[in-house]
Amino acid sequence: MIKHAHSLDRGTSSIYSSPAPDWLHNPYVREALENRRSTTIDVLTDYDTEHGTQLLSTLEAFLRAGSQIASASEHLAVHRHTVRSRIRKIQALCGVDLTDPVVRAELLLLVVSD
């Protein structure tokens, strides 16, 4: 944001919005995210393509809803049990525990950094 402000001419104003924090664009952070992406997000993308499922969109909705099944199911317009079933499948495919807040935070970073 500071870089954006300094790039403006004196006396002008602008609304700054960034979809992700600046530090997510750091090359070392990007490399770590890309390594993790290959065992999570890419797995879900491939599975969705092969099986016509919506696991990645379910994961994103679940994470953005603060892990609230009801909110995620409402956003996706599917039943709560469908979201629960998909979450179990995601955990099995990616080898993650979505009850762990650190894992959820890590995956949320992957989702928003796309």
Alpha-carbon distance of 69 to 58, in angstroms, equals 10
102 within a domain of the structure (yes/no): yes
DSSP 8-state code for residue 8: S
Q: What is the CATH number of the domain that holds 30?
A: 1.10.10.2840
Domain span holding position 76: 25-112
**What pLDDT sits at residue 104?**
96
What is the Cα–Cα distance from 67 to 88, expressed in whole angstroms? Answer: 13
Non-local CB neighbours of 51 within 8 Å, separated by 6+ positions: none
pLDDT tens by residue, the chain, 114 residues: 445 555 656 655 555 455 566 777 778 888 888 888 999 999 999 999 999 999 999 999 999 999 999 999 999 999 999 999 999 999 999 999 999 999 999 999 898 876
Q: Is residue 18 part of a domain?
A: no
Number of domains into which the chain is organized:
1
Give a yes or no: residue 3 inside a domain.
no
3-state SS assignment for residue 57: helix
Of how many residues is the chain composed? 114
Confidence (pLDDT) at 16: 47
Q: What is the pLDDT of residue 5?
A: 54
